[in-house]
């Protein structure tokens, strides 16, 4: 069994849906196809919910009308026969009617999650109908029947596996299954989701549950590039990554992959392939357990970082200082990304400043606290294990003209992170590409 996930752009128009239909019906291996909502849909649904939280039904109605027009147009272009056009219209209209029925006084996260689920429900129903119109049999699997999170909002792998396998057992002769990415039920049976961009996560959770031969993430670019293609010109695809390298890149800002997506695949040792729907023959990126020794693979950047520096004379020879500092972040449920220490202090970074004020208040018990805002973490990824000579030097010397606030190396074999001002991000990424990838060898001296 293969799992093939198609993102929003890949199903973003009638033309694109037809293209995906061709791709998922090529080849013999049985497959589970995971679809995102059509591009722009989830953003529009978030906007609708936002208007409803703010008790502005007119604002919500305007977005609903705009979105439903987009769907009417797509349906018109997608189906060849009046019969299927009508069936698709009925299905999509039912979803928009449900959204409209939620325009009421009491609007809570319960109603919001019901609205956010509509995008994936509509795209999968539209695909199923399109395939049926083409005379191609496909079996819809409702993600709401098997994809579930537990009381900690973490996927319930046991429930997912048991229920998905039970469902699949009912169709022993079917080869093409279609399901929704992103949506799930929570521990209370309510409609919920795996967070924005979570369809990648759906795909790898399904891959792990069915022990797939491969999880394919189909998107609008030919694999993981060696730098952010939205900022740097001339980036090129990286053909092979190991799971840890891919996880670091995803976590540190390479949007092509959702950060959570790697773990289930890694734990089950299922290769993940990143492929381009617009260029299906391009090799893309294969993510597996294999490591290319001593090679720098790619650069990514994570925005909106705040650094907190706690300086304390008492840190000298003191035990327990670090514990108190980290406990403070834990107490305010704020994860820490980067850490550097010296004898007089410790610097940490966070990307969620929601509880910054309380954190600083508490930290002042242990030392003098200084905050630096508007920073980015630039993360260089590859096999950077310390036995390989010369790689750190190449990275750091590329940034000789950039003020560097923190450097972190040695926390894993695969990452060297630098904290720099947001204003210097583009310049830093371009300099790294020039020094690491345009220059002849990005491999370690042997
Ligand atoms: P999908 O809708 O298919 O999930 P995404 O928009 O989430 O697609 O991810 C694909 C986008 O990720 C690309 O269009 C690209 O602009 C962006 N991206 C950011 N960093 C990278 C990178 N290092 N390699 C490839 N794509 C990247
Ligand atoms: N449609 C959802 C989003 O836009 C999930 C996804 O596309 O992965 O966040
Ligand atoms: Mg995505």
DSSP string for residues in 302-335: EEEEEEEEEE-GGGTT-SSHHHHHHHHHHHTT--
Write the pLDDT tens digit of every residue in 318-366: 678 889 999 999 999 999 999 999 888 999 999 999 999 999 999 999 9
On whether the pTM is more than 0.85, the answer is yes
Binding-site residues for ATP: 5-8, 219-220, 230
| Residue 219, beta-bridge partner list | 276
H helices of 236-302, in order, are 243-251, 262-267
CB atoms within 10 A of CB 354: 11
What residue numbers does the annotated binding site for substrate cover?
42, 120
pLDDT at 399 over 60: yes
- Over range 155-164, report the average pLDDT: 98
- Domain assignment present for residue 266? The answer is yes
Same domain, 310 and 205: no
Q: Is 8 in the pocket of ligand 2 (CB under 6 A)?
A: yes
Contact 209, 179 (CB under 8 A): no
185-189: average pLDDT? 97
| Rounded percentage of the chain residues whose pLDDT exceeds 90 | 90
- Calculate the average pLDDT of the chain: 95
Query: Is 237 inside a domain boundary?
Result: no
State whether 355 and 410 are in the same domain: yes
What is the distance between the alpha carbons of residues 444 and 390, in angstroms, rounded to a whole number? Answer: 6
DSSP 37: P
Q: Which two tokens stand for residue 407?
A: 């450097």
Residue 104 pLDDT > 90: no
The DSSP call for residue 269 is T
Is 263 found in the same domain as 136? Answer: yes
CA 70 to chain centre: 25
Point out the ligand 2 atom lying closest to the alpha carbon of residue 198: 8
- The residue whose CB lies within 8 Å of the most ligand 1 atoms, and thus the one to mutate among 4, 227, 256, is 256
Q: Strand pairing of 31-35 and 176-180?
A: parallel
- pLDDT at residue 100, rounded to an integer: 96
Last residue within a domain, chosen from 290, 310, 332: 290
Distance 155 CA to ligand 2 centre (A): 17
CA neighbor of 271 nearest in space, from 261, 281, 280, 279: 261
Same domain, 263 and 156: yes
The answer to the question of residue 244 being in a domain is no
Residues 66, 190 within the same domain: yes
Whether pLDDT at 446 is above 80: no
62 Cβ inside 6 Å of ligand 1: no
Q: Which residues contact 213 (CB under 8 A, 6 or more apart)?
A: 1, 2, 29, 270
pLDDT higher than 60, residue 442: no
Q: In Å, what is the CA distance from 17 to each residue of 2, 212, 222, 334?
A: 19, 24, 18, 40
203 alpha carbon, closest ligand:
2
Spacing, Cα 221 to ligand 3 middle (Å): 11
Q: Is the pLDDT of residue 264 over 90?
A: yes
> Measuring CA to CA, which residue among 310, 309, 339, 197 is closest to residue 256?
197
Whole-angstrom distance, CA of residue 346 vs CA of residue 370 = 11
The pLDDT of residue 321 is: 86
Q: What is the CA radius of gyration of the chain?
A: 24
Tell me: pLDDT of 199 over 60: yes
Percentage, residues of the chain above pLDDT 70: 97
* CB-CB contact of 358 with 299 (8 Å): no
The bound ligand whose nearest atom lies closest to the alpha carbon of 198 is: 2
What is the rounded average pLDDT of the residues 307-314? 88
**Tokens representing 384?**
């950077």
- Which residue, by CA, sits nearest to atom 6 of ligand 2? 197
- 151 and 105 share a domain? yes
Residues having C-beta closer than 5 Å to ion ligand 3: 7, 197
Domain range for 400 is 297-436
Is the CB of 181 inside a 6 Å radius of any atom of ligand 2?
Answer: yes
Tell me, what CATH number does 127's domain have?
A: 3.40.1160.10
Both 149 and 26 in one domain: the answer is yes
Using the 3D structure, point to which of 290, 314, 339 is the last residue of a domain. Answer: 290
> Residues with Cβ < 8 Å from 50, sequence gap 6 or more?
none
Instruction: Look at residue 116 and tell me whether its pLDDT is greater than 50.
Output: yes
pLDDT at 443: 52
Has residue 236 been placed in a domain? no
User: With contact defined as beta carbons under 8 Å apart, do 235 and 229 qualify?
Assistant: yes
Q: Which residues pair with 372 in a beta bridge?
A: 307
Residue-level pLDDT at 56 = 95
Query: Does residue 62 form part of some domain?
Result: yes
Nearest one of 379, 392, 430, 349 to 248, comparing CA atoms: 379
The finding on whether 338 has its CB within 6 A of some atom of ligand 1 is: no
Regarding whether 341 and 202 lie in a shared domain, the answer is no
DSSP-based three-state secondary structure for 46: helix
Residues 197 and 69 in one domain: yes
Annotated binding-site residues read: 5-8, 42, 120, 219-220, 230
Q: Is 225 in the pocket of ligand 1 (CB under 6 A)?
A: yes
Tell me how far the alpha carbon of residue 45 is from its chain's centroid: 18
Instruction: Decide if pLDDT at 161 tops 80.
Output: yes
Characterize 31-70 residue by residue with b for buried, 16 or more Cβ atoms within 10 angstroms of its Cβ, and e for exposed.
bbbbbbbbbebbebbebbbebbeeeebeebeebbeebbeb
> Within a domain: residue 146?
yes
Ligand 2 atom with the smallest distance to the CA of 201 is 8
Mean pLDDT of 7-29: 96
Look at residue 444 in the predicted model and tell me its pLDDT: 53
Please, is 202 exposed, middle or buried when counting C-beta atoms within 10 Å of its C-beta (0-12, 13-18, 19+)?
Answer: buried
Strand partners, 307: 349, 372
Verify whether ligand 2 is closer than 6 Å to residue 36 (CB atom): yes
* Number of domain units in the chain: 2
The CATH number covering residue 423 comes to 3.30.2130.10
12 lines ligand 2 (CB under 6 A): no
Ligand 2 pocket: which of 5, 8, 121 to mutate (most atoms <8 Å of CB)? Answer: 8
CB atoms closer than 10 angstroms to residue 153? 12
Task: For residues 285 and 359, state if they share a domain.
Answer: no
Nearest CA to 90 out of 80, 100, 75 is that of: 75
Kindly give the number of the ligand 1 atom that is closest to the alpha carbon of 299: 23
Asked whether residue 241 is domain-assigned, the answer is no
pLDDT confidence of 69, banded at 50, 70, 90?
very high
Q: Which of 268, 290, 312 is the last residue before a domain boundary?
A: 290
Are residues 169 and 318 both part of a single domain?
Answer: no
State whether 340 and 270 are in the same domain.
no
Q: Is the CB of 196 under 6 A from ligand 1?
A: no
Mean pLDDT of 42-48: 98
Torsion sign across C-alpha atoms 101, 103, 105, 110 = positive
With 0-12 CB in 10 A as exposed, 13-18 as middle and 19+ as buried, what is 290? exposed
Asked if residue 294 has its Cβ within 6 Å of ligand 1, the reply is: no
Span 368-383, average pLDDT: 97
Distance 1 CA to ligand 1 centre (A): 25
Comparing C-alpha atoms, which of 124, 115, 104, 131 is closest to residue 42? 115
> Residue 91 falls within a domain, yes or no?
yes
């Amino acid at each position: 069994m293969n799992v093939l996930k198609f993102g929003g752009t890949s199903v973003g128009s009638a033309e694109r849906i037809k293209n995906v239909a061709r791709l998922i019906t090529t080849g013999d291996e049985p497959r589970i196809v995971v679809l995102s909502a059509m591009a722009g849909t989830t953003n529009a649904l978030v906007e609708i919910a936002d208007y409803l939280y703010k008790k502005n039904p007119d604002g919500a109605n305007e977005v609903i009308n705009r979105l439903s027009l987009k769907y009417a147009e797509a349906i018109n272009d997608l189906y060849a026969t009046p019969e299927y056009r009508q069936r698709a219209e009925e299905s999509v209209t039912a979803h928009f009617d449900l959204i409209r029925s939620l325009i009421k006084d009491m609007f809570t996260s319960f109603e919001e999650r019901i609205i956010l689920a509509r995008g994936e429900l509509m795209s999968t129903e539209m695909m199923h109908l399109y395939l049926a119109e083409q005379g191609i049999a496909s079996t819809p699997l409702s993600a709401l029947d098997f994809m579930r999170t537990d009381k900690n909002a973490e996927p319930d792998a046991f429930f997912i596996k048991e229920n998905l396998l039970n469902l699949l057992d009912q169709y022993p002769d079917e080869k093409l299954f279609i399901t929704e990415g992103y949506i799930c039920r929570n521990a209370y049976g309510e409609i919920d989701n795996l967070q924005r961009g979570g369809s990648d996560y759906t795909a790898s959770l399904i891959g792990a549950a069915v022990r797939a031969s491969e999880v394919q993430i189909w998107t609008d670019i030919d694999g993981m590039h060696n730098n952010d293609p939205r900022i740097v010109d001339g980036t090129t695809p990286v053909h092979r990554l190991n799971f840890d390298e891919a996880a670091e890149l995803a976590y540190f800002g390479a949007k092509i992959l959702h950060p959570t997506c790697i773990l289930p695949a890694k734990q089950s040792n299922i290769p993940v392939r990143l492929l381009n729907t617009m260029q299906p023959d391009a090799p893309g990126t294969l993510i597996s357990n294999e490591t290319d020794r001593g090679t720098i693979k790619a650069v990514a950047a994570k925005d909106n970082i705040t650094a907190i520096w706690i300086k304390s004379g008492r840190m000298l020879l003191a035990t327990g200082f670090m514990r108190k500092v980290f406990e403070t972040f834990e107490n305010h449920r704020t994860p820490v990304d980067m850490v550097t220490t010296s004898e007089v202090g410790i610097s940490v970074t966070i990307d969620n400043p929601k509880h910054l004020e309380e954190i600083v208040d508490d930290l002042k018990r242990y030392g003098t606290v200084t905050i630096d805002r508007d920073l980015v973490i630039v993360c260089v990824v590859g096999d950077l294990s310390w036995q390989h000579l010369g790689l750190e030097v190449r990275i750091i010397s590329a940034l000789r003209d950039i003020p560097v606030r923190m450097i972190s190396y040695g926390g894993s074999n695969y990452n060297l992170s630098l904290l720099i001002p947001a204003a210097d991000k583009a310049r830093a990424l371009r300099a790294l590409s020039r020094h690491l990838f345009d220059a002849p060898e990005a491999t370690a001296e042997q």
